[in-house]
Amino acid sequence: MTQQIDGSQARRSGLNDYDKAVETYEPVLGLETHIELDTRTKMFCGCSTTFGAEPNTQTCPVCLALPGALPVANKAAIEATIKIGLALNCHIAEWTRFARKNYFYPDMPKNFQTSQYEEPLCENGYVDVVVDGKEYRVEIERVHLEEDTGKTLHVGGATGRIHGATESLVDYNRAGIPLVEIVTKPVPGTGALAPEVAKAYTAELRDIVRSLGVSDVRMEQGSLRCDVNLSLNLPGEEWGTRTETKNVNSLRSVERAVRYEVRRQSALLDAGERIFQETRHFQETTGETRAGRSKEEATDYRYFPEPDLAVMEPSREWVEELRATLPELPRKRRERLQAEWSLGDKEMQSVVNADAVDLIQATVDAGTTPSGAVKWWLGELSRRANESGEELAALAITPKQVAELQGMVDDGRLNDKLARQVIDGVLAGEGDPADVAAKRGLEVVSDTGALEVAVEEAIAANPAVADKIRGGTHAAAGVLIGAVMKATKGQADAGTVRKIILDKLS
């Protein structure tokens, strides 16, 4: 029997400081990613795959596993998987087949998952990612096709979890949706940057798949899901025992999960304890990983070739036809955009790290300048996302709204300070920037008559400063500008105010 190890062991040993941990140990990463394809129909039947339909309305004898029903493989899903394989530089199998992964689970109608085992559709590829100016090659072991399970809902309990629930309801709408699993080879040599490399790989993979148009890859809807494998070893020694952390469902969580496991495992190793090969679950709220039931480790899936489905032999002609349809991939696109936006390498890297390429592109497409778009997304908006612990894209502001905001700045209707207040309003759901500015009364005061009165007052209140300016010390104008801004509650355009002051005093 495997010894039960869970949070209690980690608590006993505590967590190491991250920097200290990576000074002592070398992490080895591994990533398994599941991507739901957005084919029109399910993997083995003709049911719709639309997200969010009434429970159990998108089912049929096949995906409910009624007695006698048989699967037929979805060609569009096979095509999409081959495209993913090609985009990840994989070899596409000449001969491949499905296999049954047998285990009992109520949301899996057949009590086996039709998957692939020894003969995946795609093998041996790679993805290159850049972190901190250094390129890392993440090698892909396999890309295979399988089907998703249904969803179980536990009702009657306080927590929505199985414990304490009085009833369990199953929704089979998701059962049988095509799922592509992408497994990396172990990734050593990332050192302290392991969390960032894991995140960069996941982001790159997501962008590649999105560019192919085969999945909407939305982590928050579960159409892209990650399992993070991690082990630690002392320099020069063999790789350690790995843990597999499931339920890692955002880019930020990928980073946090790796970081947490490094801290947890190093503390155990420091204490002379061993790491158990086990499945752990990431806790979104606390950033911890927790051990699953040790029972799961004993599962024997009894894989064997699926006798209900024919062997697939993708012809080389077909594979080449698909290769020819591949779109511009993210790396190429980034190189193109960097040139178009006239960004330096460092600046572009910041854009990529902030996961802002698509956002900036969309903002530029909505009619603003690249520099304006970059300024907002990497500046104020990144700061807001960090504060709230959200992904940039999850902020309640659209690229179109950012473009509108910058447009108002360009027109002189907003200054940067006012623009930031407008962002407050947009994020609070008060509407588009123009609406927020109107409702909150945040427009720049462009009525020069009103400004001239304010300037006169400022001059009258600060005669000594006015004399300095008259004497040629233009830098002293700042004091008067400040007074005017204060008087207009920041709604004046500083440039205009300065011009009026200098006109009057020279």
Q: List residues binding another protein (CB under 8 A).
A: 61, 64-73, 100, 102, 104, 106, 109-112, 162, 166, 168, 170, 300, 302-304, 307-310
Between the CA of residue 404 and those of 126, 377, 393, what are the distances in Å? Answer: 40, 13, 17
Strands 243-248 and 279-282: parallel
Q: Which is nearer to another protein, 83 or 110 (CB)?
A: 110
Complex with another protein: residue 239 or 304, whichever CB lies closer: 304
Looking at this protein, which amino acid is placed at residue 289?
Answer: T
Q: At its nearest, how many Å lie between another protein and the CB of residue 277?
A: 15
Do residues 333 and 306 touch, judged by C-beta distance below 8 A?
no
Could you tell me the CA-to-CA distances from 496 to 235, 461, 485, 505 in Å, in that order? Answer: 63, 20, 11, 14
Between 107 and 390, name the residue whose CB sits nearer to another protein. 107
Residue closer to another protein by CB (options 99, 442) is 99
Min CB(168)–another protein separation in Å = 6
CA dist 399 to 358, 364, 390, 417, Å?
A: 9, 8, 16, 19
Sheet containing strand 91-92, strands side by side = 91-92, 122-131, 134-147, 178-184, 26-36, 224-233, 243-248, 279-282, 289-291
Q: Rounded to the nearest whole angstrom, what is the least distance from the CB of residue 240 to another protein in the complex?
A: 24
Give the side-chain half-sphere CA count within 13 A for 175: 27
Question: Smallest distance from the beta carbon of 366 to another protein, in angstroms?
Answer: 47
Q: Name which of 402, 434, 421, 433 is nearest 491 in CA terms.
A: 421
Nearer to another protein (CB atom), residue 295 or residue 336: 295
Using the minimum distance from each CB to another protein, give the nearer residue, 95 or 104: 104
Min. distance of Cβ 249 from another protein in angstroms? 24
Q: What is the CA radius of gyration of the chain?
A: 29
CB nearer to another protein: pick between 100 and 246: 100
CB-wise, 40 or 489, nearer to another protein? 40
Identify the DSSP state of 403. Answer: H
C-alpha to C-alpha distance for 330 and 210, rounded to whole angstroms: 9
Query: Shortest distance, CB of residue 302 to another protein, whole angstroms?
Result: 4
Residue located via tokens 């639309």 = 50
231 CB-near residues (< 8 Å, 6+ apart): 27, 28, 239, 240, 241, 242, 243, 265, 275
Nearest-approach distance from CB 141 to another protein, in angstroms: 20
Q: What minimum distance in Å lies between the beta carbon of 67 and another protein? A: 4
- Interhelix angle 399-410/357-365, nearest 10 degrees: 60
C-beta of 65: minimal distance to another protein in Å? 4
For residues 13 and 267, is the Cβ–Cβ distance under 8 A? yes
Nearer to another protein, 65 or 329 (CB): 65
In this structure, the chain runs to a length of: 506
